Structure 1
Amino acid sequence: MIEHSLIKHSTKSAYRSFNSGIEDFMGVQESKLLSIIRKNENTEFGLKYDFKGIHSISDYVNVVPIGDYDSHEDFITCQYETGEKTLLDEKILLYEKSSGSSSPSKYIPYTGSLKSEFMNGVEPWLYDLYMNYPEIQKGKHYWSISPIIENEKYSPIKIPVGFEEDSGYFNKLQSILLSRVFAVPNEVKHLRAEDFATLTLYYLVLAEDLSFISIWNPSFLSVLLSELELYKRQLIRAFETGEMKLSNGEFMRFKSNNKTVSRAKILKGFSGHDYNELWPNLKLISCWEDGFSRKMAEDLKKLFPKTLFQGKGLLATEGIISFPLEGIGKVLSYKSHFFEFMDLKTGEIFLPDNLVSGNTYSVLLTTSGGLYRYRLYDLIKVSGHYKGLPIIEFLGKEAHISDYYGEKINEIHVGELFKRLEVEGFAVLAPFGINPMSYCVFMQNPPLNVAGFKSKVDTILRENFHYDYARKLGQIGDVKVFIITEDPWEEYFSKKSEKMKLGDIKFSPLYSEKGLEVAFKGHFILNNENSDNITCRGNA
């Protein structure tokens, strides 16, 4: 496809620039930092920390304190609501919404410079893909980048909230080219949640030449494919008749031709186990493979036995930290932002050229999105070096959160949840079960109205943007309640002491690992049941 050749050509210079600059990557880092400082020295933040007096990395780290979203929030909120230049002296194109550490959601400013910083990592990665997997140029691609934002389209001063389409990170020409190779049109993302899976599956099955899939969480694709059997008859009918009934009663019409009839025939004969039967030309799937995603990626590989997989680098809403280069590993995206790394054992801060292989660090970013020495609370391990440049592996979140599908539930949110619902006695929220996983409230005192309580818990959790998204995708199921019938504190500390000294245990309203049900004697209760269920330990 000519579009692939043009995309490849458009990313070539970024790939060459990345490789040519590696030998002096710390010089690039300092130039990046000082460029950000100079642009924003007249902002409220810049004036507060005397950006005009900063002329080196040393000046910067000695003057500007380490922060996180909480320390940036007042500045961001002011600029979000009024447009005053509190953090940035550059036009803000949009705000990308994500989950906060002490508030349900956070708003990350995106400028033209920040988008360029992202592309300084994305373009070399994409060119490297085309070079090492030329087969992906022969067919359609399926990409999933940013979730849909339904409730909030603009800030109070009419700045957009959220990217409108998967190609929103790219420049206009690249976006046009990508839209022509995408198997699923971007308009599908704006349909009702009830129709999103059906239409996405329709276009994916239609793409017999599908050659590349790029997703983040592997479970996104697993959950989507699990619904293929559910919608199979509806999809076959759509291929054969050229129309599909949507959840609102309206009909969507498609072309019906020899190709669609052929795809209907293939779908009828699909075994439901080997998805390469549907997509024999699918060469590569790119997805998370680190941290909690490792097991999910292994499960996804079983569905595509003839397809290769590549683990993604570390990319957050705030910035891009690493990206994979074939045969090398996930290298630091040194041309994107200014990076620092904290040793959690000592609190000491290291620059990228001083990271030690085998050691674990917490990531700090300074970006053109108005984030300064911003602590992501992402833990990375240095697995090696490439020409001195760190090769890193994402280990997980440093802060106490539960994050299996990108939901990022934080213990602070959970504590506020119990406070708002006036829960008395022992109560802990923990993940439970599979296919789908749910969140369960383990509690000492049963609620009077179980159905109402579950609904309120779910509603409050849905204030977290990514939890709500995972619920809509079916990755997370309905809230459950487990009533503890014996001393909960003894059982809780006994469970926690399996992995740490009893004296070091601190209670948290969030337990981020599965299996907490085996610690307590009690029972799960349904919406219409009271506390007279069979008492058990470890049974659902």
Structure 2
Amino acid sequence: MTRSLSSRLGHGLLKTFMQRGLHRFEREAPKLELIQRSLLQKWLHGHTRTVSATRYHLKANDSWEQFANKQPCTTYDSYRKLIELQRSQQNKQLFDSPVSRYQPTSGSTSAIKWIPYTQAFLGELDQAITPWIGDLYRQFPKIAQGSHYWSLSWIPTSLRDASSHELNDDMQLMSLGKRLIAGLTQTAPASIALARTAEDSLFATLAYLAADEHLSVISIWSPTFGLGLLEQLGSCREELIEVLQQGTWGMRAEAMAGLKCPRAHKAAQRLKAWNGVADPAFFAELWPRLALLSAWDTAAASPWAQQLQKLLAHAQFQGKGLWATEGVVSIPLRNHCPLAYRSHVYEFEDLENGQILAPWQLRKGQQVMPLLTTGSGFARYRMNDVLQVSDHWRTLPCFTFLGRNDGSDLVGEKISAALAQSIIDGLSYSGQLPITLLALNDCVRGKPGYVLLVEGPANSNSMSTTALAAQLEHALLKNFHYRLARDLGQLAPAHCICLPNMRQIYLEQSRARGMLEGNIKLEALRHWSGPLPMALRQALEATA
């Protein structure tokens, strides 16, 4: 069977299966409360048969209200020791379901967390990805005319020997049958993640993407990851030309762990005629069938998603819902982002009064944080993401992601991520793009303080950077606690650093702190401990 024929067969079967799930999702949306209560009963039966079940005296027949009264809200630290014990003893500490793998993830300030991906949890994720993809085929029918690239989030190089089986592959979120069918439509094999290093995985991804003129979907999470892929096509151009012409990995052969190398003379010729500068016309020529680009596009990701859309302007765009390694909250559907109500058990904390609400109690305009009870064994797990209830669709609450709830409190100034995002959004930029607001323990002359990182052209003048820093300081001073800390001399004045490669510096530092390639987020506020990279320290000292 030719690749083209197998791809068409895969799309046909996948579309059929996904549409069934989509129709069920839409048909049963008015039964939100009934289905959520039913999912809790199912979860209680799976949890009460485990080692840790006696801690809060939960019973299999507890009601929604009894569960909420008995079970406190939790974080990953509530499960860290149990997960370590479960991994070492291979028993069921948290949930009565076989564990398929432990998925690594990390936050902006936290160490690697290992999330148990049980068969029950994977089934919950499948309940979200099925209607999502079904709606993609309905909204963007041209995606069935080519192959797809769905995000692979590679394990850091330092963890690969110990964790080669923990693949973070979006296709792994489907049921086995759908996964096998979806494999017929994919341009890049999941085994790319098994290459020796993250750099080798990146190069293999570039080779498969460049070789595929039938590519119709690029689905990633972070838009900066997508921008990096397009830029790396230029910087790796000479090596890619040789590899695609020869059909061998050359000096990387040993590192590729037996991965087949694509061969594509036409793609090699296109790369050879290209000057290596990211250009919409070139990408339209390289991927003429590209019909859909999907990535995060809210909060801090917004300006970078716009940049990515400009480079792949011939494709339509769709933003993501809220999906984390620990679980899914919302999916894009019919131009909304409704609750993935068939997946986990959901509750929401009202950030105005701290009240915890069931999903059927939410009202438009509320700002909330989700609590998830999942087949991983997590109960009322705090996601720490701030959402606004933007609308309702067929009784389902729909959400807009506003940012993380992480904050910074270097000396009592109490700067929240939401405040940082609103300040960043309100600044006036001169050809620059914001990366993040850094909270530094040692900003200037030993004092803590805040530094805005922006990316701009190499010829950006110091006056524009100084003006941006002044805007930032003015906005921060509107916060009572920040103003008091400045008046008391506890904080250095706000600064701004502009470099043409700032995004790359940020990503490199995030990887060095153990964050996972492909899932690194640009967040409005980051507290970085330890020394700054030399390039940033020198630029900061030049502005001080």
TM-score, normalization by structure 2: 0.74
One-letter amino acid matched to 2:93: T
Q: Is the 8 A contact 2:115 2:376 kept in 1?
A: yes
Q: Over aligned residues, Cα RMSD in angstroms?
A: 3.8
- Note closer, same or farther for the CA distance 1:345–1:526 as it changes in structure 2 (3 Å cut): closer
CA distance in 1, matches of 2:138, 2:28: 20
Q: Is the partner of 2:22 in helix, strand or coil?
A: helix
Residue deviations 1:186-214, cap 9 Å, x none?
Answer: 23222233333332222112111111111
Residue deviations 1:49-106, cap 9 Å, x none?
Answer: 1222752111111111112112232333332333454322222221111125874121
**Unaligned ranges ≥5, structure 2:** 1-7, 409-416, 422-434, 458-469, 499-530
CA distance in 2, matches of 1:434, 1:81: 45
CA distance in 2, matches of 1:144, 1:107: 19
Question: Which among 317, 322, 325 is matched to residue 325 of structure 2?
Answer: 317
Give the number of equivalent residue pairs.
Answer: 457
Q: Is the 8 A contact 1:99 1:408 kept in 2?
A: no
Question: Which among 228, 231, 239 is matched to residue 226 of structure 1?
Answer: 231
- Note closer, same or farther for the CA distance 1:37–1:249 as it changes in structure 2 (3 Å cut): closer
Asked which structure has the greater RCO (Cα within 8 Å, sep 6+), the reply is 2
CA distance in 2, matches of 1:268, 1:160: 35
One-letter amino acid matched to 1:426: K
Per the alignment, residue 41 of structure 2 pairs with 34
Question: Following superposition of structure 1 onto structure 2, how do residues 259-278 of structure 1 map, counting pairs within 5 Å?
Answer: 260-270=264-274, 272-274=278-280, 275-278=283-286
Q: Is the 8 A contact 1:94 1:160 kept in 2?
A: no
- Note closer, same or farther for the CA distance 1:224–1:30 as it changes in structure 2 (3 Å cut): same
One-letter amino acid matched to 1:221: G
Per the alignment, residue 457 of structure 1 pairs with none
Residue deviations 1:400-450, cap 9 Å, x none?
Answer: 27899xx99998xx88xx9xxxx99435685634389xxxxxxxxxxxxxx
CA distance in 2, matches of 1:28, 1:526: 50
Per the alignment, residue 482 of structure 1 pairs with none
CA distance in 2, matches of 1:101, 1:266: 39
- Note closer, same or farther for the CA distance 1:383–1:424 as it changes in structure 2 (3 Å cut): same
Q: 1:302 Cα shift?
A: 0.7
CA distance in 1, matches of 2:286, 2:175: 32
Question: Which among 79, 83, 93 is matched to residue 100 of structure 2?
Answer: 93
Question: Following superposition of structure 1 onto structure 2, how do residues 110-509 of structure 1 map, counting pairs within 5 Å?
Answer: 110-152=117-159, 162-163=166-167, 165-191=169-195, 192-247=197-252, 254=261, 260-270=264-274, 272-274=278-280, 275-327=283-335, 329-400=336-407, 425-427=446-448, 432-434=453-455, 497-502=476-481
One-letter amino acid matched to 1:108: I
Residue deviations 1:367-388, cap 9 Å, x none?
Answer: 1111111111011011100111
Q: Is the partner of 1:167 in helix, strand or coil?
A: helix
- Note closer, same or farther for the CA distance 1:333–1:166 as it changes in structure 2 (3 Å cut): closer
Same amino acid, percent of matched pairs: 29
CA distance in 1, matches of 2:454, 2:117: 37
Per the alignment, residue 537 of structure 1 pairs with 543
Aligned pair 1:73/2:94, yes or no?
A: no
Residue deviations 1:327-364, cap 9 Å, x none?
Answer: 3x111000101111111221111111121112211111
Q: 1:39 Cα shift?
A: 1.5
- Note closer, same or farther for the CA distance 1:115–1:535 as it changes in structure 2 (3 Å cut): closer
One-letter amino acid matched to 2:398: I
Q: Is the 8 A contact 2:223 2:305 kept in 1?
A: yes
Q: Is the 8 A contact 1:496 1:505 kept in 2?
A: no
One-letter amino acid matched to 2:193: K
- Note closer, same or farther for the CA distance 1:2–1:236 as it changes in structure 2 (3 Å cut): same
CA distance in 1, matches of 2:181, 2:481: 58
- Range with bigger deviation, 91-100 or 315-324: 91-100
- Range with bigger deviation, 13-22 or 364-373: 13-22
CA distance in 2, matches of 1:270, 1:91: 50
Q: Is the 8 A contact 1:37 1:46 kept in 2?
A: no
Q: 1:129 Cα shift?
A: 0.7
- Note closer, same or farther for the CA distance 1:13–1:506 as it changes in structure 2 (3 Å cut): farther
One-letter amino acid matched to 2:29: I
CA distance in 2, matches of 1:37, 1:367: 10
CA distance in 2, matches of 1:361, 1:263: 48
CA distance in 2, matches of 1:364, 1:504: 34
Q: Is the 8 A contact 2:122 2:173 kept in 1?
A: yes
CA distance in 2, matches of 1:40, 1:525: 45
Q: Is the 8 A contact 1:154 1:161 kept in 2?
A: no
Q: Is the 8 A contact 2:322 2:330 kept in 1?
A: yes
Q: 1:152 Cα shift?
A: 4.2
Q: Is the partner of 2:48 in helix, strand or coil?
A: coil
- Range with bigger deviation, 345-354 or 72-81: 72-81
Q: Is the 8 A contact 1:270 1:278 kept in 2?
A: no
- Note closer, same or farther for the CA distance 1:294–1:386 as it changes in structure 2 (3 Å cut): same
Per the alignment, residue 14 of structure 2 pairs with 7
One-letter amino acid matched to 1:317: T
Q: Is the partner of 2:323 in helix, strand or coil?
A: coil
CA distance in 2, matches of 1:255, 1:299: 29
Per the alignment, residue 516 of structure 2 pairs with none
Q: Is the 8 A contact 1:43 1:86 kept in 2?
A: yes
Q: Is the 8 A contact 1:93 1:160 kept in 2?
A: no
CA distance in 2, matches of 1:529, 1:100: 22
CA distance in 1, matches of 2:473, 2:537: 28
CA distance in 1, matches of 2:389, 2:365: 5
- Note closer, same or farther for the CA distance 1:495–1:337 as it changes in structure 2 (3 Å cut): same
Per the alignment, residue 505 of structure 2 pairs with none
Per the alignment, residue 455 of structure 1 pairs with none
CA distance in 1, matches of 2:536, 2:156: 36
Q: Is the 8 A contact 1:97 1:161 kept in 2?
A: no
CA distance in 1, matches of 2:86, 2:14: 35
